[in-house]
Each structure stands twice: as structure tokens, then as C-alpha cells.
């Protein structure tokens, strides 16, 4: 009886030790495939527009959405506190389930969120209804905002994790599209963008140089690496695998017209 009990204790101790050793080994073994899997997903979403939408749709359907957070992107909260912008119209570009839109609406902004996928928009509308605030959620392509009837004059544009997955061939259209609805002097926060060289074999992602070069009519105000502690838990490893950056841009004021009479109409003083 005593012998059986001691054998059981031995088995328990050995099992616990083996389990404890297996966890870090397993993690190490999985790190490569998991990172490659992430890069593979990003390669998928950078392919043709229709295919991308289906990929995103599938990811939302099965809940494979490591970017999704219950609350706003912490860098958005920080930027709003730092910039102290007067509230106006805000556009949440590729809004997903609307956490950033809701936060902005709660801060008094008149918010429009745009996404091409149905499911996150349904979730976003449900969340908005639950808290009784009304951001407008519109389904459509952010590279063709002119087709969506969302108006213009946006003084704050937020893109948390959308631009870096837009295929290279559509990026100029993205810039033209968001510029067409942005007020002169408006602020664009391009948050949580994967940097291209960090993506193994992928073409997506975005570098600081690309942001500075591609955003015609915008001034790149800040570019900063994302701190490791600001990712949602579900995506916390991503920061070990990829460089992730936040960018802040400012829409240049309209060029003065020849007569000078309409110059600066509707603009604000440059932001701090």
C-alpha cells in the first residue's frame, strides 16, 4: 500500500517535471511556424481586393482576429490627450468591430467607421447600441470613399492596422481616397502598422520611408516604434516577430489660390 502510494507520488512528480519542461520546448518549437503562419496570413490579405475581403470575412467568422480589442488602441487614447484637438468629424478607417469609433464617439467626436466586412460592422453596431452612442458604420472600400456618401471635412482620421495590409497597387488610391475627405490641417493617425522588412517573404507592411513618400499632401509629424506593452494580449507575440510603428501625419493646408481669397477657408491653426 505504502509502496503504491510512493510510486504514485514519483509518477506525479516526474509528470509535473516533464510537463514543466515540455512547455518552453513546445513554445520554442511553435514559434517558427506561428510566425510563418502570421506572415502567411498577411500575404493572403495583401492579394487581390475580392480575395482579401473573403480572407478577412473568414477570419472574422472563425474569430481569428488577433488585432481585435475590447477597448481603444492605447496610442489613440494617448494621442488624443496629447493633441487636445477640438472635436469635429472623425473617420475610423478599416474600423473592424468599432472599439476606436466608440471611444472617439464617447469623447464627443462625430464618428464614421468604414469597413469592407459585414460581421465586424454588425458587432460594432451592437456595441454602439449597447452604450447608446451613435457612430455611423458604413460598409465599403476605404480606397473608394467617394462612392460611399460619407461626406468630407473630417478633422481626425484614424487607421489602426488597416493601411499596412492594403496591396501596393491600391495604396495611392487609399491616399487619394482619404485625402479627398480630410479637412485641411486634419490629423491622420496611422497606428499599429507592421513594417515591411519585418515580414518574411511578404510584400505588405509599411515603412517610415514609404509613409513619408506616399502620403502626398500630408506632412509626417511623428514616427515611433510601438511599445511592447500596448498590444492586445491575443497579439502580444507579434511585437517580437515584426516591427510595429505608429505614425502621425497632418494634412497640409490648401494651396492659396491665385487671388488668395479662398485660401485657408475652413482651416484651423496648425496642431501642436
Binding site for ligand SAM (CB under 6 A): 56, 67-68, 73, 94-96, 100, 114-117, 120, 141-143, 160-162, 165-166
In the complex, the smallest distance separating the C-beta of residue 259 from ligand SAM, rounded to whole angstroms, is: 38
- CA pair distance 47, 122, nearest whole angstrom: 25
In the complex, the smallest distance separating the C-beta of residue 54 from ligand SAM, rounded to whole angstroms, is: 11
3-state secondary structure the chain: CHHHHHHHHHHHHHHHHHHHHHHHHHHHHHHHHHHHHHHHHHHHHCCCHHHHHHHHHHHHHHCCCCCCCCCCCHHHHHHHHHHCCCCCEEEEECCCCCHHHHHHHHCCCEEEEEECCHHHHHHHHHHHHHHCCCCEEEECCHHHHHHCCCCCCEEEEEEECCHHHCCHHHHHHHHHHHHHHEEEEEEEEEEEEECHHHCCCCCCCCCHHHHHHHCCCEEEEEEEECCHHHCCHHHCCHHHHCCEEEEEEEECCCCCCCCCCCCCCCCCCCCC
Q: Which is nearer to ligand SAM, 186 or 192 (CB)?
A: 192
In the complex, the smallest distance separating the C-beta of residue 183 from ligand SAM, rounded to whole angstroms, is: 21
Count CB atoms within 10 A of the CB of residue 30: 11
In the complex, the smallest distance separating the C-beta of residue 180 from ligand SAM, rounded to whole angstroms, is: 15
- CA pair distance 268, 113, nearest whole angstrom: 23
Q: Which is nearer to ligand SAM, 161 or 253 (CB)?
A: 161
Q: Which is nearer to ligand SAM, 169 or 270 (CB)?
A: 169
Q: Which is nearer to ligand SAM, 184 or 199 (CB)?
A: 199
In the complex, the smallest distance separating the C-beta of residue 73 from ligand SAM, rounded to whole angstroms, is: 6
Q: Which is nearer to ligand SAM, 117 or 183 (CB)?
A: 117
In the complex, the smallest distance separating the C-beta of residue 226 from ligand SAM, rounded to whole angstroms, is: 13
Q: Which is nearer to ligand SAM, 100 or 155 (CB)?
A: 100
Q: Which is nearer to ligand SAM, 133 or 150 (CB)?
A: 150
In the complex, the smallest distance separating the C-beta of residue 241 from ligand SAM, rounded to whole angstroms, is: 15
Amino acid at each position: 500500500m505504502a509502496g503504491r502510494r510512493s510510486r504514485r507520488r514519483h509518477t506525479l512528480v516526474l509528470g509535473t517535471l516533464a510537463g514543466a519542461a515540455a512547455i518552453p520546448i513546445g513554445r520554442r518549437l511553435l514559434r517558427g511556424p506561428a510566425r510563418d503562419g502570421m506572415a502567411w496570413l498577411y500575404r493572403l490579405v495583401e492579394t487581390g481586393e475580392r480575395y482579401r475581403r473573403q480572407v478577412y470575412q473568414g477570419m472574422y467568422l472563425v474569430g481569428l482576429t488577433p488585432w481585435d480589442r475590447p477597448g481603444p488602441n492605447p496610442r489613440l487614447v494617448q494621442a488624443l490627450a496629447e493633441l487636445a484637438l477640438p472635436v469635429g468629424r472623425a473617420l475610423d478607417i478599416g474600423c473592424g468591430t468599432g472599439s476606436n469609433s466608440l471611444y472617439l464617439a464617447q469623447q464627443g467626436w462625430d464618428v464614421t467607421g468604414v469597413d469592407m466586412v459585414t460581421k465586424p460592422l454588425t458587432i460594432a453596431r451592437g456595441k454602439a447600441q449597447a452604450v447608446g452612442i451613435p457612430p455611423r458604420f458604413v460598409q465599403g472600400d476605404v480606397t473608394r470613399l467617394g462612392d460611399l456618401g460619407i461626406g468630407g471635412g473630417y478633422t481626425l482620421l484614424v487607421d489602426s492596422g488597416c493601411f499596412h495590409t492594403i496591396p501596393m497597387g491600391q495604396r495611392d488610391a487609399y491616399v487619394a481616397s482619404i485625402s479627398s475627405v480630410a479637412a485641411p490641417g486634419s490629423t491622420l493617425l496611422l497606428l499599429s502598422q507592421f513594417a515591411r522588412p519585418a515580414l518574411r517573404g511578404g510584400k505588405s507592411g509599411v515603412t517610415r520611408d514609404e509613409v513619408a513618400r506616399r502620403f502626398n499632401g500630408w506632412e509626417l509629424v511623428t514616427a515611433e516604434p510601438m511599445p511592447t506593452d500596448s498590444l492586445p494580449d491575443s497579439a502580444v507575440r507579434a511585437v517580437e516577430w515584426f516591427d510595429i510603428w505608429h505614425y502621425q501625419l497632418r494634412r497640409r493646408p490648401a494651396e492659396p489660390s491665385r487671388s488668395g481669397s479662398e485660401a485657408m477657408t475652413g482651416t484651423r491653426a496648425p496642431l501642436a
